[in-house]
Amino acid sequence: MTAYRRPTVAALAVLLLAIACQYQGSPPRPGPSAPVGGGFTLVASGDVLPHMSIIEKASTDAGGNGYDFRPMLAGVKPVVSEADLAICHMETVYGTDGNYSGYPAFKSPPQVAEGLAATGYDVCSTASNHTLDDGAAGIHRTLDALDRAGVRHAGSARTAEEAQSPTLMRAGGAQVAHLAYTYGTNGIPLPAGRPWAVNLIDRERILADARAARRAGAHVVVVSLHWGTEWQDTPDAQQSSLGQELTEAATGGRPDIDLLLGTHAHVPQAYEKVNGTWVVYGMGDQIAGRMVNHSGTVDPRGNQGTLARFTFAPPAREGDRWAVSKAEFVPQWFDLGPGRVVNLNSAIASGAGAEATAVRDRIRDVVLSRGAAQDGLVMGR
pLDDT at residue 216, rounded to an integer: 97
Would you state the pLDDT for residue 10? 40
Is residue 183 over pLDDT 90? yes
Specify the pLDDT at position 80: 98
What is the pLDDT at residue 36?
Answer: 54
Q: Look at residue 373 and tell me whether its pLDDT is greater than 90.
A: yes
227 vs 24, higher pLDDT: 227
Indicate if the pLDDT at residue 37 is higher than 80.
no
Whether residue 28 has pLDDT greater than 80: no
Cα 67 to Cα 54, 61, 89, distances in angstroms: 10, 7, 19
Res. 316: pLDDT tops 60: yes
Per-residue pLDDT at 76: 98
Which stretch of 22-31, 192-201, 222-231, 305-314 has the lowest confidence by average pLDDT?
A: 22-31
pLDDT at 24 over 60: no
- Which is more confident, 28 or 191? 191
Give residue 53's pLDDT: 98
Answer yes or no: is pLDDT of 6 > 50.
no
Q: Give the mean model confidence (pLDDT) for residues 2-15.
A: 38
Per-residue pLDDT, 318: 83
Lowest-confidence region among 37-41, 97-101, 173-177, 303-307: 37-41
Residue ranges of domains in the chain: 37-379
Q: Characterize 131-153 residue by residue with b for buried, 16 or more Cβ atoms within 10 angstroms of its Cβ, and e for exposed.
A: bbbbbbebbbbbbebbeebebbb
Q: What is the predicted pLDDT for the residue at 333?
A: 97
CA–CA separation, 162 vs 168, rounded Å? 12
Q: Is the pLDDT of residue 251 over 80?
A: yes
Tell me: pLDDT of 32 over 90.
Answer: no
**Residue 321 reports pLDDT greater than 90:** yes
Q: Does a cis peptide bond (omega within 30 degrees of 0) precede residue 314?
A: no
**Residues 37-379, CATH architecture:** 4-Layer Sandwich (3.60)
Over residues 258-295, the pLDDT tens digits come to 999 999 999 999 999 999 999 999 999 999 999 999 99
